[in-house]
Each structure stands twice: as structure tokens, then as C-alpha cells.
Amino acid sequence: MHPSSCDTFVALPPSTQGQRVIFGKNSDRPCDEVQEVVFFPAKDCDPDEKVECTYVEIEQVAHTYAVVLSKPAWMWGAEMGANEHQVCIGNEAVWGRENANSEEALLGMDLVRLGLERADTAEKAVDVITELLEKYGQGGSCMEDDCGFTYHNSFLISDRKEAWLLETSGKYWAAERVEGGFRNISNQYGITTKIDKEHPEMREYAQSKGWWDVNTEFNFATVYSFLTTARIESAGSRYCEGKKLLEKSGGCMTAEAMMDILRDKESGINMEGMFMTTGSMVSVIPTDPALPGVHYFTATPDPERSVFKPFVFVKNAHLLKETTSPSFGPDDPVKTKPRFQSKPDRKHQLFVKHELAAAIIESYKDKGQKITEMMRQLERELIHEMEKILTQGIEEPDDLVNLFSSSVQKEMSTYNKS
């Protein structure tokens, strides 16, 4: 099984409970990779400033939005995240007829972060990502220890009113708007004949390669995909299983129902083995702009054995750096490349404690059940607290400044009790 075999989901009214958009993603990565949760406040930037992405340097914009990200600790970019305008993005690895570029360029994860920093709507994020793709290209190894591991990217992007599916092949791309119901993506192309935006030369290029006969209807997935590969087949079954799980919610998707989907091991969505689910995210975004969104992150592997902890964008929000992010955080600009740190240094406190708890759950049935129940109880309490905020709004923003950090501390104290 290949890494980055992620799954991303979105449910929009009328398939959700209440007027809310529910976004979810599992990030599947090498099992020894640490995923950290980091927050970067909004900032005005110097016009001459450059952005040091994972491999390449690009031009900065005048203003970046506040973002919360779940990211592999060695990388500049992120697997998934959200911004202060309640835009959420997750990416997937996709392979097609076009070879992925092994030369260092922007990673799909860099594009996730850049889209969140620069776009205040889902559609704008499509524009930001595709413009960067045109200018800088995508490429480079997506794994720290495997230089040959490269792929194209697809993105699921949502905001308060809609979602966009963006799929790329080199610099070519197609995008589809999703205005209701639900959508999931796995490691395969999913845009067919409904294309709402596209690279101006995308069809012409496919025709020049002999992939498309102009007399037939243009179907992006058919034209740009391999006909058969083991990778696509395994992704296909996960994609189908994911779709079934979304349908099972019966049009009443909630944060808990999305968490259950991400925890599902039978479908392969919660991956185990050499490549496993190393971080998970669920966001709940009310369509009413007066109400805040709540973004839950695990910051630990295996959502079945993790607590989804909430983050809300408020003024002065921050995360406790040492508990979820050892390499850098809001007050520590990225001056040194995080990928040059040694691996043990990247394990944050929560990751270390969680590793010990996971070992106990694995080895001692009674003790393990007790820990798991305490974790679930904590999660239920956190979701219950957030429900008030999602329906009534924020009364005391200062109470939420340390929301994620204090939830991490509560989780760690449940491990101490065991």
C-alpha cells in the first residue's frame, strides 16, 4: 500500500444536521512520521519577502490569513487545515497517464497551506492553487526517506456555502463545484463530465497525446487516468466504501458521524501497517456567517485511539507549541528547514504519551478499555461544549484562546491516570 492514501470527505446541507458544512480527512503517511498541529496568525507581509516552502522559494503576498494546520513535522506544507474564513482544504495523491515530476517544486501539501493562507473562499482557493501550479509547478518527493515517491494532487476545498473538487495532472487541471449533498475523494481522479473550471489548454494537451478523441464527450477522469493500476484499484474500493459510509448517515451528517467514518478500519479508511492514519481532522462550519466554525484535530496516529480536540479562530488564539509542535509555531518563524531535524526531536509531548497509551491498549485488554473509554468521554464533553458555541456563538473569546492546548492537556492527564 502506498503512502498518502488519504481520504477526504465533505457533507453540505441538506445532507447534514442543521445548516452546517462538515469536512473530514484522514492523513495516511509512513507510520513513524510525526504529525503536528500548528497555528499561524494573520499577517501583513513585506512585498519583497519570499516564502520558503518545503523545497522551493516563492513570492509572498501582501497579506496572509490566520491558519490552523495538521502537517508532517519535516515539511513546510500541510496535509489539511482551515483558515479564519472557514475555508478547509485536504489533498490526495493521484497518479495518471502523465508522469509525476520528481524535480523539486511545490508539493501538494505546500499548495494546501498556500491556498489557506491566501484565499477567503473555496473558489478563490482553486484560483490561488492553480495560479501557483502554473507559475511554479508541482513536484519533489512527498516522503522524507524516499526520493522517488512523487505524485499529482487532487484537493477537496470547502467554505460556508459550497465545496470544490480540484484535480491536477502536472500543470493541467479541472475543477468541479459541489453545491449540496456530499462528496469524498480518494487516490483516483473523480471529476468526469461536469467541469466548472479548467486549465485553458487541458483538452488540447490530452488530444495532442492521443488520450482524447474530440468526437467523444470529454471526461476528465477517463482521459487523464491510467486504465488499470493496483494503486487505483485499492483506492477505488476505499473510495466506494467511503461513499457508502457517507450515504449511511442518512442525510444527517454530524461531527460524530464524520469521526466514526474516519475511525472505520474495515473499509481501510483508518489505515494500519507501514502506512497508517497519522493525523485526522473534522471541521464543523455553520452556513450562518455570524457563527464560528469548530475544527477538531487529533495530532496523533489512529483516530480510533485518539481524541478529536477542538480549535476555534479567536483573536490571540494559539497552540501550546511543545505539546503538539516541537519544530516551530506562531512565534518562531521558519528559519531552519524542519526536515533537517533528527526524527526523535520531532516527537511532541502528546505524541510520546499517546504512543505509550497505544502500547497499553494493544497489550492489556482491561486497562486498554479503561483508557479508551476515558478518551471517548473527554471527546464527548468537548463536542458538547462546542455545540453551544456552534449554535449560540462566542460569548467570551478569551476563554477560547487556549482551547486546543487545554484539550491536549486534558488528554495527557487521562493517560497519566492510566
Is residue 6 among the annotated active site residues? yes
> Beta strand pairing status for 43-44 and 80-83?
unpaired
Collapsing DSSP states into helix, strand and coil, what is residue 323? helix
pTM: 0.93
- CB count within 10 Å of CB 1 equals 15
The whole-number pLDDT of residue 228 equals 47
Half-sphere exposure of 27 (CA within 13 A, CB side): 33
Superfamily name with CATH number, domain 7-417: Penicillin V Acylase; Chain A (3.60.60.10)
- What is the reported pLDDT for 227? 59
418 DSSP assignment:
-
The runs of H, that is alpha helices, within 249-277 are 255-263
- Given the residues 6, 53, 88, 142, select the one marked as catalytic: 6
pLDDT for 147 equals 65
All three cell numbers of 361, joined, read 491498549
Residues near 277 by beta carbon (within 8 Å), at least 6 away in sequence:
26, 27, 28, 262, 269, 270, 271, 301, 302, 303
| Beta pairing class for 63-64 and 43-44 | antiparallel
Give residue limits of the domains in the chain.
7-417
* pLDDT score, position 146: 65
Stretches in the chain below the pLDDT threshold 70: 1-5, 146-148, 227-236, 318, 320-322, 326-344, 418
